[in-house]
Amino acid sequence: MFETLIFEKTDHIAGITLNRPDALNAHNVQMRDDLFEVLSTVCADDDVRVVLFKGAGEKAFCAGADLSEFLTAPPPVAAREVRFDRDLWGLFIRIPQPVIAAVHGYVLGSGIEIALCCDICIASEDARFGLPEMGLGMIPAAGGTQTVPRAVGVGPALEMILTNRWISAKEALDRKLINRMVPRKMLYDIADLTAREIAAKDPASVRLAKSAVVRGMGLSLDRGLSMETTLALRLIAEHF
């Protein structure tokens, strides 16, 4: 059991709920360690076909990093070593199963970054998105400078990050930051339904399809096409 997360596995779906509602589910060192442990387990569990992220409480999916712990961190060299030793964000983008985020309320800083490490993001109409790091003399550090421009394009990403302008769920939908916008009371039903639809498909096909799309985005078209063929052949071999 985890101090900062609720983890439950039902019908091949791993549900992970960020659970510090009194602190707007702010990401702290304990949550980093809990997420690293739970994601390591999920990655290695073939029984898990889909991962579904939620945030506990009414107000926020995740309001960002817990600033009360800042300035107590080890010196930069040690902090960097810890970061790459327990590489939570590197692990996040290597999860072989599809990951869905169901977000509501404040989705700020590392909240947006968690959502964009997921493959499909469904947001309720009240969700608000923003990256406040620049106002604190920092830059996003959970992949935001990489995942935001890949989702919305370089121009809008530069504007969002450099001015820390917040955007509504509607604008997030228009800018393709999220896949779908749904009424608040239907958020978890729709997210569960999407998870169940994916869990009902052939698990090997689902993983390879995700892999082809995600890895292909970092390759030239030629290399992407040959990787796709390799993965398709592997699937044919598995099914024989």
Grouping H, G, I as helix, E, B as strand and the rest as coil, residue 90 is helix
Q: Does 216 bind other proteins (CB under 8 A)?
A: no
Query: 17 vs 147, which CB is nearer to other proteins?
Result: 147
Pick the catalytic residue: 3, 58, 125, 133? 133
Tell me the Ramachandran region of residue 39: left when phi exceeds 0, alpha when psi lies from -120 to 50, beta otherwise.
Answer: alpha
Nearer to other proteins, 58 or 230 (CB): 230
| Smallest separation (angstroms) from other proteins to the CB of 16 | 20
- The residues in 160-199 that bind other proteins, with binding defined as CB under 8 A, are 161-165
CA angle 126, 132, 138 (to 5 degrees): 160
Of residues 19-78, which lie at the interface with other proteins (CB under 8 A)? 67, 70-71, 73, 75-77
Q: Work out whether the CA dihedral 105, 169, 103, 67 comes out positive or negative.
A: negative
Q: Are 61 and 55 in contact (CB under 8 A)?
A: yes
* Interface region with other proteins, contact rule CB under 8 A, candidates 3-11, 38-46, 129-137, 229-237: 129-137
Other C-beta atoms closer than 10 Å to the C-beta of 226 total 12
Is there a catalytic annotation at residue 197?
Answer: no
**Is 69 marked active-site?**
no
Alpha-carbon gap, residue 111 to 85, rounded angstroms: 22
d(CA 185, CA 102): 12
> Of 113, 159, 197, 238, which one is the catalytic site residue?
113
Residues contributing to the site for other proteins (CB under 8 A): 67, 70-71, 73, 75-77, 79-80, 83-84, 89-90, 93, 133-141, 143-150, 153-159, 161-165, 214, 217-218
- Known catalytic residues? 113, 133
